[in-house]
Amino acid sequence: MFWRIVIGAVVVLFLVMWVRAVIDVFVRRPDLSGVGKAAWAIGMLVVPFVGLLIYTMLRPADSQIASRRRRRS
């Protein structure tokens, strides 16, 4: 019973992080081109754990994204 709860919690955590990353790619990243967005989406779909891990490590900080938006406006 304990392991079912742990596995369920891990699956839910992964799904939340994956959905957040996909939303981040398509909504919050105006600096990415269409090809870049498609590449990240395909990478996260084909190899979900590795793709999510790599995206999380390589994505710019929220402050960097905000400063890029301010410069463009």
**Whether residue 32 has pLDDT greater than 90:** no
- Residue-range definition of the domain harbouring residue 61: 2-72
Domain count, the chain: 1
The pLDDT, as a whole number, for residue 44 is 87
pTM above threshold 0.85: no
**Whether residue 73 has pLDDT greater than 70:** no
Confidence of residue 53 (pLDDT cuts 50, 70, 90): confident
**Whether residue 11 has pLDDT greater than 70:** yes
**DSSP codes joined into one string, 5-22:** HHHHHHHHHHHHHHHHHH
**Whether residue 27 has pLDDT greater than 90:** no
